Amino acid sequence: MAKHRSPPNHCPCGSGLIRARCCGPFLDGDAIPQTAQALMRSRYAAFVERRTDYLLNTWHPKHRPQELELNDHQQWLGLSIRGTAGGGMEDERGEVEFVARSRVGGKGHRLHERSQFLRIDGRWYYVDGEFPG
């Protein structure tokens, strides 16, 4: 299984916080993200930790795939948030632009996406994304 290169106990989302004070409570089902950015960061952490259950549960029901297969050889290297629009605690919609870096078979990859999020009944969901450039 591919491992993220963050220090032990640090959250893989790159916030600099320990997992237990960042995305851990979301991934462990003890809390829900209150902003679109927090959901986006926790979804990145879920990719790092290979948590397809979390990824599917946080995907908008109308856009969610039936199943999700992750690449066993993908090593996640880091996440950079480029910007946000909406997605706050009082918003119903949000957008998060990010770059996620990974490596597969020694080759580097860069995913640049503008992700769309909706809040339904107080819970944020990933809808879809577009790839600038």
Residues 126, 115 contacting (CB under 8 angstroms): yes
Topology classification of domain 19-130: Nuclear Transport Factor 2; Chain: A, (3.10.450)
Say how far apart CA 70 and CA 45 lie, in whole Å: 13
| pLDDT digits 0-9 by tens, 32-82 | 999 999 999 999 999 999 999 999 999 999 999 999 999 999 999 999 999
pLDDT at 1: 42
pLDDT at 7: 56
- CB-side neighbour CA atoms (13 Å) of 102: 20
How do the domains of the chain map onto residue ranges?
Answer: 19-130
Query: Does an H or E element contain 25, and which?
Result: helix 24-27
pLDDT at 127 over 70: yes
Question: What pLDDT, on the 0 to 100 scale, is given for residue 2?
Answer: 45
Closest CA to 24 of 47, 2, 46: 46
